[in-house]
Amino acid sequence: MSDPLEARLAAAARALEAPDVDFPARARDAGLADVAYTVEPSPLGELLLAITPRGLLKVSYADIYPSDAALEDISRRVSPRVLEDASALDDVRRELDEYFAGRRRDFDLPLDRTLMRGFGRRVLDRTERIPYGHVATYGEVARDIGSPRASRATGNALGANPIPIVVPCHRVIRSGGVIGNYGGGPERKIQLLELERG
Protein backbone atom coordinates (compact mmCIF):
# COMPACT_ATOMS: atom_id res chain seq x y z
CA MET A 1 0.00 0.00 0.00
CA SER A 2 2.00 2.92 -1.24
CA ASP A 3 -0.97 5.31 -1.41
CA PRO A 4 -1.19 7.30 1.91
CA LEU A 5 -4.96 7.65 1.59
CA GLU A 6 -5.33 3.92 1.11
CA ALA A 7 -3.19 3.30 4.21
CA ARG A 8 -5.32 5.70 6.29
CA LEU A 9 -8.53 4.04 5.11
CA ALA A 10 -7.15 0.61 5.99
CA ALA A 11 -6.15 1.86 9.46
CA ALA A 12 -9.63 3.35 9.96
CA ALA A 13 -11.25 0.07 8.93
CA ARG A 14 -9.08 -1.83 11.44
CA ALA A 15 -10.01 0.67 14.16
CA LEU A 16 -13.70 0.15 13.49
CA GLU A 17 -13.25 -3.53 14.24
CA ALA A 18 -11.60 -2.81 17.61
CA PRO A 19 -14.40 -2.82 20.23
CA ASP A 20 -12.40 -1.03 22.92
CA VAL A 21 -11.49 2.08 20.92
CA ASP A 22 -12.86 5.27 22.49
CA PHE A 23 -13.46 7.27 19.31
CA PRO A 24 -14.70 10.46 21.05
CA ALA A 25 -11.59 10.51 23.26
CA ARG A 26 -9.34 9.96 20.25
CA ALA A 27 -11.11 12.76 18.36
CA ARG A 28 -10.82 15.03 21.41
CA ASP A 29 -7.12 14.23 21.84
CA ALA A 30 -6.51 14.91 18.14
CA GLY A 31 -8.33 18.25 18.33
CA LEU A 32 -10.91 17.15 15.77
CA ALA A 33 -13.98 18.38 17.68
CA ASP A 34 -14.73 21.90 18.88
CA VAL A 35 -17.99 21.03 20.67
CA ALA A 36 -18.80 17.89 22.66
CA TYR A 37 -22.37 17.07 23.63
CA THR A 38 -24.56 14.51 25.29
CA VAL A 39 -28.21 14.11 26.21
CA GLU A 40 -28.60 13.50 29.93
CA PRO A 41 -31.67 12.48 31.95
CA SER A 42 -32.63 14.76 34.83
CA PRO A 43 -35.56 15.24 37.21
CA LEU A 44 -36.77 17.91 34.76
CA GLY A 45 -36.55 15.69 31.68
CA GLU A 46 -33.77 15.10 29.18
CA LEU A 47 -31.19 17.86 28.91
CA LEU A 48 -28.90 18.44 25.96
CA LEU A 49 -25.51 19.50 27.33
CA ALA A 50 -22.76 20.95 25.14
CA ILE A 51 -19.25 22.05 26.02
CA THR A 52 -16.27 23.61 24.26
CA PRO A 53 -12.67 23.83 25.47
CA ARG A 54 -13.66 27.21 27.02
CA GLY A 55 -16.52 25.77 29.07
CA LEU A 56 -20.20 24.89 29.21
CA LEU A 57 -21.89 26.26 26.10
CA LYS A 58 -25.45 24.97 26.18
CA VAL A 59 -28.07 23.38 28.40
CA SER A 60 -31.44 22.87 26.76
CA TYR A 61 -34.62 20.99 27.53
CA ALA A 62 -34.84 18.35 24.80
CA ASP A 63 -38.65 18.36 24.75
CA ILE A 64 -38.82 22.15 24.26
CA TYR A 65 -35.81 22.57 21.96
CA PRO A 66 -35.19 19.24 20.18
CA SER A 67 -31.58 18.10 20.23
CA ASP A 68 -31.27 18.12 16.44
CA ALA A 69 -32.33 21.77 16.29
CA ALA A 70 -30.02 22.72 19.17
CA LEU A 71 -27.07 20.96 17.53
CA GLU A 72 -27.81 22.58 14.18
CA ASP A 73 -27.82 26.00 15.89
CA ILE A 74 -24.50 25.22 17.60
CA SER A 75 -23.03 23.99 14.33
CA ARG A 76 -24.07 27.21 12.59
CA ARG A 77 -23.14 29.67 15.34
CA VAL A 78 -20.10 28.06 16.98
CA SER A 79 -18.53 25.28 14.88
CA PRO A 80 -19.62 22.41 12.64
CA ARG A 81 -17.12 20.16 14.40
CA VAL A 82 -19.61 18.74 16.93
CA LEU A 83 -19.18 15.29 18.47
CA GLU A 84 -21.27 13.22 20.86
CA ASP A 85 -18.92 12.62 23.78
CA ALA A 86 -20.53 12.03 27.18
CA SER A 87 -17.23 11.65 29.02
CA ALA A 88 -16.20 15.20 28.05
CA LEU A 89 -19.20 16.37 30.08
CA ASP A 90 -18.52 14.32 33.22
CA ASP A 91 -17.96 17.40 35.42
CA VAL A 92 -21.13 19.08 34.12
CA ARG A 93 -23.20 15.93 34.67
CA ARG A 94 -21.77 15.45 38.18
CA GLU A 95 -22.48 19.04 39.24
CA LEU A 96 -26.02 18.92 37.85
CA ASP A 97 -26.65 15.62 39.68
CA GLU A 98 -25.39 17.20 42.92
CA TYR A 99 -27.59 20.26 42.35
CA PHE A 100 -30.72 18.18 41.74
CA ALA A 101 -29.92 16.08 44.83
CA GLY A 102 -29.76 19.27 46.94
CA ARG A 103 -26.02 18.91 47.61
CA ARG A 104 -24.80 21.80 45.44
CA ARG A 105 -25.73 25.47 45.69
CA ASP A 106 -23.17 26.97 43.30
CA PHE A 107 -21.76 25.64 40.06
CA ASP A 108 -17.99 25.62 39.61
CA LEU A 109 -18.06 25.18 35.86
CA PRO A 110 -16.27 27.42 33.37
CA LEU A 111 -18.78 28.90 30.94
CA ASP A 112 -18.44 29.55 27.23
CA ARG A 113 -20.53 32.69 26.66
CA THR A 114 -20.30 32.56 22.84
CA LEU A 115 -24.10 32.27 22.51
CA MET A 116 -24.67 35.33 24.75
CA ARG A 117 -24.44 38.77 23.20
CA GLY A 118 -24.94 42.44 24.04
CA PHE A 119 -27.90 43.30 26.25
CA GLY A 120 -28.72 39.61 26.79
CA ARG A 121 -25.25 38.93 28.09
CA ARG A 122 -25.51 41.82 30.56
CA VAL A 123 -28.84 40.43 31.79
CA LEU A 124 -27.41 36.92 32.18
CA ASP A 125 -24.22 38.14 33.89
CA ARG A 126 -26.42 39.89 36.48
CA THR A 127 -28.73 36.88 36.79
CA GLU A 128 -25.76 34.63 37.50
CA ARG A 129 -25.14 36.58 40.72
CA ILE A 130 -28.58 35.90 42.23
CA PRO A 131 -27.84 33.62 45.19
CA TYR A 132 -29.25 30.14 45.58
CA GLY A 133 -32.68 30.24 47.23
CA HIS A 134 -33.24 33.93 46.40
CA VAL A 135 -35.14 35.68 43.64
CA ALA A 136 -35.07 39.04 41.88
CA THR A 137 -37.69 40.69 39.71
CA TYR A 138 -37.34 41.47 36.02
CA GLY A 139 -37.43 45.16 36.95
CA GLU A 140 -34.65 44.77 39.53
CA VAL A 141 -32.40 43.00 37.03
CA ALA A 142 -33.13 45.66 34.39
CA ARG A 143 -32.36 48.44 36.88
CA ASP A 144 -29.16 46.74 38.07
CA ILE A 145 -27.76 46.66 34.53
CA GLY A 146 -28.60 50.33 33.96
CA SER A 147 -31.77 49.85 31.87
CA PRO A 148 -34.62 50.43 34.34
CA ARG A 149 -37.30 50.64 31.62
CA ALA A 150 -36.26 47.39 29.94
CA SER A 151 -38.18 44.83 32.03
CA ARG A 152 -39.77 43.23 28.96
CA ALA A 153 -36.44 43.06 27.09
CA THR A 154 -34.94 41.54 30.23
CA GLY A 155 -37.59 38.82 30.13
CA ASN A 156 -36.81 38.15 26.48
CA ALA A 157 -33.09 37.88 27.23
CA LEU A 158 -33.80 35.44 30.06
CA GLY A 159 -35.98 33.37 27.73
CA ALA A 160 -33.02 33.08 25.34
CA ASN A 161 -30.61 31.95 28.07
CA PRO A 162 -28.41 29.25 26.47
CA ILE A 163 -27.34 27.85 29.87
CA PRO A 164 -30.44 27.62 32.08
CA ILE A 165 -30.16 26.09 35.55
CA VAL A 166 -26.42 26.92 35.71
CA VAL A 167 -27.13 30.56 34.83
CA PRO A 168 -30.22 30.66 37.05
CA CYS A 169 -32.81 32.55 35.02
CA HIS A 170 -35.43 30.62 37.01
CA ARG A 171 -34.60 32.95 39.93
CA VAL A 172 -36.10 35.95 38.13
CA ILE A 173 -39.81 36.50 38.73
CA ARG A 174 -42.41 39.16 38.08
CA SER A 175 -43.17 41.80 40.68
CA GLY A 176 -45.66 40.73 43.32
CA GLY A 177 -44.18 37.23 43.47
CA VAL A 178 -45.77 36.02 40.21
CA ILE A 179 -43.62 33.27 38.68
CA GLY A 180 -43.60 34.60 35.11
CA ASN A 181 -42.37 32.81 32.03
CA TYR A 182 -39.48 30.38 31.70
CA GLY A 183 -37.85 28.83 28.64
CA GLY A 184 -38.45 25.35 30.04
CA GLY A 185 -42.04 26.12 31.00
CA PRO A 186 -43.46 27.53 34.25
CA GLU A 187 -43.78 24.07 35.84
CA ARG A 188 -40.03 23.56 35.64
CA LYS A 189 -39.41 27.05 37.01
CA ILE A 190 -41.59 26.21 40.01
CA GLN A 191 -39.74 22.88 40.48
CA LEU A 192 -36.37 24.64 40.49
CA LEU A 193 -37.50 27.32 42.93
CA GLU A 194 -39.00 24.68 45.24
CA LEU A 195 -35.80 22.64 45.07
CA GLU A 196 -33.82 25.69 46.18
CA ARG A 197 -36.24 26.49 49.00
CA GLY A 198 -35.40 22.99 50.27
Residues serving a catalytic function are 169
Residues 6+ apart with CB under 8 A from 33: 24, 27, 81, 82, 83, 85
Give the integer Cα–Cα distance in Å for 174 and 196. Answer: 18
Query: What is the number of other CB atoms lying within 10 angstroms of the CB of residue 86?
Result: 14
Give the integer Cα–Cα distance in Å for 100 and 134. Answer: 17
Spell 50-74 as b/e; 16+ CB within 10 A means b. bbbeeebbbbbbbeebebeebbeeb
